[in-house]
Amino acid sequence: MLLNTRQLLPAVALIFMSLQWAGAQTPVNTQSTKRTKALLSNLSHTTGNGYILFGQEDALAYGVGWKNKPGFSDIKSVCGDYPAVYGWDLCNIGLLPFNIDTVRFDSMRLWIRQAYRRGGIHSFSWHLRNPKTGGSSWDTTAAVADILPGGPLHDFYKSQLDYVADYLGNLKTGFPFSHRIPVIFRPFHEQNGGWFWWGKPHCTPEEYKALYRFTFHYLTEVKKLNNVLFAYSPDVFETEADYLLYYPGDEYVDVMGLDMYHFTSRTLDTMMHKLGAVVRLAESRKKVAALTETGYEKIPDAQWWTYQLLQPMLSDPDAHRVAYVMVWRNAWPSHHYGPYPGHPSAPNFVAFANDARIFMERDLPRMYRLPKKAKTRKTPAK
């Protein structure tokens, strides 16, 4: 049963405990800031309390029929609230003033700061251009071996990491009490697919692991980037062994994700079975599980949000313990993954956002603190 909690009397849900809670998770970077530690611990508590955070890529930067409108969001226009999780991309960092989706990095910094002050969470992918050719990340010329230590392009790769570290390290709240904003970094995603230069079959699993591990060590040890959680997010896989084929190790990963879109040829049972497997793998390693990219392009089913996404996820014995679900961007009428005003699925999205188990931005407790008790305005999930 879907619960519209905005029509109920205010209720208090005690969903987050102290750091001493037995299930508390700590970042793989032992030097992480206290707020970064709190974010990961609170995300792990979310999974154990039946709540799922909703997110979208580029939600503040543009939508269907608009761009760069202060305070605007298609999601907010539909349901009255912002997403809880925001996705961004670092492609072109250090090369151009804007990323692959023409979002300016200075504007992105402003939106991230504003959403953080409201309590929102930020995740970054990195569609790094092919270091060997200068082509896009979809240029599948093999390049991973060249950027590993000892490779001819290793110094170039370090220079790219310097740009990443400079940007993420300078995401700060501003005066008078400035601090770094915690973020989730999701490098070299969908590596089990063949469409990116770091994917199968353009590098070996061992080369990929070496690249991920070097990236982690360089950012945390050399650049002292202590406000970052690290995510591993393959595309759809066949078996759990396939999911772990490129896995760099428990000491390098905070979030175990899955990128999985809904196509007419892909059944929802298959999708939730895969997501459930990721949840089990994450829990066995004391990691947070997330559906790091998903959606149904153009959302042709007007009831998709509740009957094709939420209910199957909640019905699966394991998939419902995912921490967050992030749909892709709203670019234009033929390429969008969230609702916008007037879209046939908009009323159903309102029901989805109002459900007691879905957290939008203002449903979030203080994700960057570890109080003994935190309040939310939604009833406890069942």
- Pairing relation of β-strands 228-232 and 183-187? parallel
Query: 3-class DSSP state for residue 315?
Result: helix
How many Cβ atoms sit within 10 Å of the Cβ of residue 190?
22
**HEC letters along 72-99:** CCHHHHHHCCCCCEEEEECCCCCCCCEC
Q: Does the active-site annotation cover 57?
A: no
Q: For this structure, is 293 an active site residue?
A: yes
Query: Which candidate in 57, 207, 293, 361 is catalytic?
Result: 293
Strand ranges in the chain using DSSP code E only, listed in sequence order: 52-57, 62-63, 66-67, 85-89, 121-126, 183-187, 228-232, 255-259, 288-294, 324-327, 330-332, 335-336, 358-359
Q: How far apart are CA 280 and CA 324, in angstroms?
A: 15
Tokens of 197: 């230069």
* Residue among 143, 50, 128, 139 at smallest CA distance from 94: 128
b/e string for 66-83 if b means 16 or more Cβ within 10 A? eeeeeeebbbbbbbebbb
Contact of 113 with 107, CB cutoff 8 Å: no
- Candidate list 57, 190, 207, 361, residue with the active-site label: 190
Tell the residue number behind the tokens 């931005």, with chain if given: 361
| CA dist list (Å): 360 to 86, 119, 248 | 11, 10, 32
Q: How many other CB atoms sit within 10 Å of the CB of residue 96? A: 12
Q: How many Å apart are CA 320 and CA 306, to the nearest integer?
A: 13
The two three-digit tokens of residue 337, written as one number: 């993954």
- Can you tell me the distance from the alpha carbon of 243 to that of 236, in angstroms, rounded to the nearest whole number? 8
Neighbours of 195 (CB within 10 A): 12
Active site (catalytic) residues: 190, 293
